């Protein structure tokens, strides 16, 4: 039996606290399962311009806490925290506190980091992919120790804790989302995650055509094989999530389709079925999502807050089905 669809909103830039409150409450009212931030540090300027990434004006942890405080049902999360931006104990304790205070509504997303110029601008060392992914594995082991009964004694390449218990304990076991697009991080996600977030292979360290081309339908099938290699017998228990970054709910998708295909070097047919894109009417998008769930097992779809109103009829029609 297919896993039911879930839908989330991802938000980058809220102009004010009132705007953020309204956005979160509206996402809940429209039936979205979760609202996520991203985890980026830079304001406008030449450093951010080099990355091609949009501005994120809100820090994820306090914005998540605020979102939980002004809602009742929607899950809150970050898609995904860059572990290199935090002390592991501070991040994990903050996340578990949000889970406690929200009565178990946290989705805890973690990633190895990728935006090279952001690291440079913030004075953070940008290690090799292997080192960053190994560090992510270390933090995941520390998270397990923090949540477990007894002392959270950990000693690995990244974390050295001794002589204390991790508190607060989560209300329930918050699902762990691990995001990425490379073989090593997706095998790690297969071993450790509850939710695997399929993303671009951001080997270039910037937003651009290389990442989009690394996530075609064929490449997505390959990524799922890496997840399965890591997961083994637990693969069927994983929830597979993807960001629909290019979403156009319209009766006439041809102009947008032509523009996107040209920008990224795909044929229009390839772009129409790109796993990170959705084009067409509500019915056409629902059909496409059902086909992708059958082919890839993708049942959890995240859209940008700029399209959450237009996309809401899709949520209403197939959410939870």
What pLDDT, in 10s, does the model give residues 75-127?
999 999 999 999 999 999 999 999 999 999 999 999 999 899 999 999 999 99
Distance CA 18, CA 39 (A): 21
| Residue of 28, 87, 31 lying closest to 314 (CA atoms) | 31
Which one-letter DSSP state was computed for residue 150? S
What domains does the chain contain, in order, with CATH numbers?
A: 6-318 (3.20.20.30)
Predicted local confidence at residue 1, as pLDDT: 81
24 touches 35 (CB < 8 A)? yes
Predicted local confidence at residue 9, as pLDDT: 98
For 163-191, how does the pLDDT look when each residue is reduced to its tens digit (9 = 90+)? 999 999 999 889 999 989 999 999 999 99
Strands of 12-95, DSSP E: 34-37, 75-78, 81-82
Helices (H) and strands (E) in the chain, counts: 13, 13
Predicted local confidence at residue 250, as pLDDT: 97
Predicted local confidence at residue 61, as pLDDT: 97
Q: Considering the chain, what is the average pLDDT of its residues?
A: 94
CA 24 to each of CA 6, 76, 101, 180: distance values in angstroms, whole numbers, following the listed order? 16, 9, 17, 25
Phi, psi of 106 (to 5 degrees): -85, 140
Predicted local confidence at residue 212, as pLDDT: 82
Predicted local confidence at residue 106, as pLDDT: 98
Distance CA 161, CA 125 (A): 23
pLDDT tens track, the chain, 321 positions: 899 999 999 998 887 899 999 999 999 999 999 999 999 999 999 998 888 888 889 999 999 999 999 999 999 999 999 999 999 999 999 999 999 999 999 999 999 998 999 999 999 999 999 999 999 999 999 999 999 999 999 999 999 999 999 999 999 889 999 989 999 999 999 999 999 999 976 555 445 667 788 789 999 999 999 999 999 999 999 999 999 999 999 999 999 999 999 988 899 999 999 999 999 999 999 999 999 999 999 999 999 999 999 999 999 999 999
Predicted local confidence at residue 89, as pLDDT: 98
How far is the first Cα of the chain from the last one, in angstroms, to the nearest whole number?
11
Question: Which residues, at least 6 apart from 23, have a Cβ–Cβ distance to it below 8 Å?
Answer: 9, 11, 14, 35, 305
Distance CA 197, CA 181 (A): 9
Predicted local confidence at residue 172, as pLDDT: 86
Predicted local confidence at residue 126, as pLDDT: 96
Each as own residue / partner, the long-range contacts of residues 46-49 (CB below 8 Å, 24 or more positions apart, any chain) are: 47/117, 47/118, 47/120, 47/121, 48/117, 48/118, 48/121
Please state the pTM of the whole predicted model.
0.95
């Amino acid at each position: 039996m297919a896993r039911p669809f879930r839908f989330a909103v991802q938000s980058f830039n809220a102009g004010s606290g009132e705007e953020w409150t309204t956005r979160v409450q509206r996402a809940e009212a429209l039936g979205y399962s979760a609202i996520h931030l991203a985890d980026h540090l830079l304001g406008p300027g030449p450093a951010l311009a080099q990355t091609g990434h949009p501005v994120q004006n809100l820090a994820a942890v306090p914005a998540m806490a605020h979102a939980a405080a002004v809602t009742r049902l929607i899950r809150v999360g970050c898609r995904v925290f860059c572990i290199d931006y935090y002390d592991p104990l501070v991040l994990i304790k903050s996340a578990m506190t949000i889970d406690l205070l929200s009565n178990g509504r946290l989705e805890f997303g973690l990633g190895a980091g990728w935006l090279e110029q952001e690291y440079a601008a913030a004075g953070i060392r940008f290690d090799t992919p292997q080192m960053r992914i190994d560090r992510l594995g270390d933090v995941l082991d520390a998270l397990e120790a923090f949540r477990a009964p007894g002392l959270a004694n950990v000693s690995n390449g990244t974390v050295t804790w001794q002589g204390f218990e991790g508190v607060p304990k989560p209300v329930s076991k918050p699902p762990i989302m691990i995001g990425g697009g490379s073989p090593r991080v997706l095998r790690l996600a297969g071993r450790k995650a509850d939710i695997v977030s399929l993303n671009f292979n951001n080997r270039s360290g910037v937003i651009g055509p290389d990442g989009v081309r690394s996530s075609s339908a064929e490449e997505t099938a390959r990524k799922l094989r890496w997840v399965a290699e890591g997961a083994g017998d637990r693969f069927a228990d994983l929830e597979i999530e993807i960001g629909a970054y290019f979403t156009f709910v319209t009766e006439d998708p041809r102009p947008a389709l032509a523009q996107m295909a040209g920008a990224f070097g795909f044929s229009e047919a390839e772009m129409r079925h790109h796993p990170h894109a959705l084009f067409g009417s509500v019915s056409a998008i629902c059909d496409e999502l059902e086909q992708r769930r059958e082919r890839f097992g993708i049942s959890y779809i995240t859209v940008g807050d700029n399209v959450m109103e237009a996309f809401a009829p899709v949520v209403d029609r197939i959410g939870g089905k």
